[in-house]
Structure 1
Amino acid sequence: MATAVPAPKPNVHAHTRYWVVPAIRAIVALAAGAIITFTRDAHTATFGLIVFGAFAIVDGLATGILSALLAGRRVTRTLFAVQGAIGVIAGVLALVLSGSGLGLFLYLVTVWAALTGFLELYNGIRERSRDAAARDWLITGAMTAVLALVLLFAPADAILAIGLFGAWAVIVGVFQAIGAATLRSAAHTPSRRAESGS
């Protein structure tokens, strides 16, 4: 019986503090969406690559590093580390090659969205009965994968492509902010119950 007691500790740690990850990701996504929405003459390939590059690097670092520290299971942490690395690589390429035109923007964002969307969707599916954040991973992953499909079949137009990325960033940012608040509230519920029972 004594060996069963330590097992819940990693999961409790993940649930009590993991809300920080979607909160930071929400801020990054909303910032990218706001910059695209409110910047005049923003819909050029160079501008799109710079905004996407900065977003992908910061989001990738937040996803990879913070999930490695706060997520529950080892496989989950590994998958998020891979997802974060993909974001950082895509972001660095976007910034280094920011003058390469619309073709590179479409290619980078589509590949990034397909790979990271699939990984987050997979994490959500495999953890749906074990982790409170799994539903959010599933939905965010699905929305990101949809972005990849839309960009793949959309006309090669800078205004449309960058606008689609900006719209995705706003929607995902709002969703992750709500998810962060929900996870934070759920994490504090057991402690309130414990305090009231003592």
Structure 2
Amino acid sequence: MANAQAPSNVGPRYWTVLVGRALIAVIPAVIITFNREHSAQLGLVVFGAFALASGLLLILTGPRTLTVATDRSLFLIHGVVSMIAGVLALAVHTGGHGFFLLIVSVWGAVTGFLEIYAGIRVRKRPLPAKDWLFTGIGGALLALLFLLLPPNPVVSVGLFGAYLVFLAVFLPIAGLSLKWDAPRQHRTAPANTAPANTAPNDSDSL
């Protein structure tokens, strides 16, 4: 008997979350790319607005689009951390380059770990694991580079802009792939697979 493909941990509308995260990244990416003044203050304002909007999106959409309680909890924490980081960055937008490095590094490390862990948990499932791993690694790598590179605001703000461009390009592709792949998986699912065995649950993951 053919083995049934593991079901997804995400609902049919989860692709809109990925596209929404990409749209949120587009405007700050454009602002940084076409602004000659890569100051720490600009970086804090742009990061604060981006993190606040991204966190709000995850908090509002996670419970509706994620089908497993652990995943909902992980992305709820992701959203809360992002909103806190965004509020702090906007409130202390004159905090200077050191504060910009600190807030973005901590945010990237925490949210990157959450997405990497979420991706590892569902690595046997077909759809969300790769997307979560890529975005998680992107955030963790941003934090690592902030710690390793020379403390130059032009470099740091430019690097954050490059991270936003990565999200703006990768997430729409991931979201649309998720949307188009779901009907194909439904059509190719084995007919003799019982519905009771296909519901995703935490016991299938780490």
TM-score norm. by structure 1 comes to 0.87
Residue 177 of structure 2, aligned match among 182, 186, 191: 182
Give the percent of matched residue pairs that are identical in Structure 1 and Structure 2.
43
Give the conservation status (yes or no) of the 8 Å contact 2:120–2:133. yes
Distance, in Å, in 1 between the alignment partners of 2:11 and 2:183 is: 9
The one-letter code of the counterpart of 2:154 is: I
The correspondence for 1:113, drawn from 84, 108, 111, is: 108
Partner of 1:32: 28
Give the aligned partner of residue 138 of structure 2: 143
Residue 90 (structure 1) aligned to one of 58, 79, 85: 85
Alignment of 1:185-196 (within 5 A): 185-189=180-184, 193=187
Q: What runs of 5+ residues in structure 1 fail to find an aligned partner? A: 1-7
Measure the CA separation in 1 of the matches of 2:148 and 2:8.
43
Match of 2:157 among 132, 153, 162: 162
CA distance in 1, matches of 2:21, 2:34: 20
Q: 1:25, 1:176 within 8 Å by CA — same for their partners in 2?
A: yes
Change (3 A) 1:40 1:76: same
CA distance in 2, matches of 1:152, 1:161: 10
Secondary structure of 2:93 counterpart: coil
Q: Deviations over 1:53-110 (max 9, x none)?
A: 0000011111232122101210000000001100000000000000111111000000
Deviation digits for residues 113-137 of structure 1 (CA, Å, limit 9, x no counterpart): 0000000000000011135111100
Q: Bigger shift: 20-29 or 128-137?
A: 128-137
Structure 1 distance, partners of 2:9, 2:96, is: 44
Cross-structure match for 1:20? 16
Q: Aligned partners of 1:189 and 1:143: how far apart in 2?
A: 29
User: What residue identity is the alignment partner of 1:132?
Assistant: L
Q: How many residues align?
A: 183
Which sections of structure 2, spanning at least 5 residues, go unmatched? 1-5, 189-206
CA RMSD of aligned residues (A): 1.8
TM-score w.r.t. length of structure 2: 0.84
Q: Could you tell me which residue of structure 2 aligns to residue 104 of structure 1?
A: 99
Does 28-37 or 44-53 show the bigger shift? 28-37
Aligned partner of 1:108: which letter? Answer: I
Query: Which structure carries more relative contact order (alpha carbon 8 Å, separation 6+)?
Result: 2
CA distance in 2, matches of 1:169, 1:188: 30
Runs of 4+ off more than 6 Å:
none
User: Deviation of residue 179 (structure 1)?
Assistant: 0.1
Structure with greater helix percent: 1
CA distance in 2, matches of 1:93, 1:27: 22
SS of aligned partner of 1:63: helix
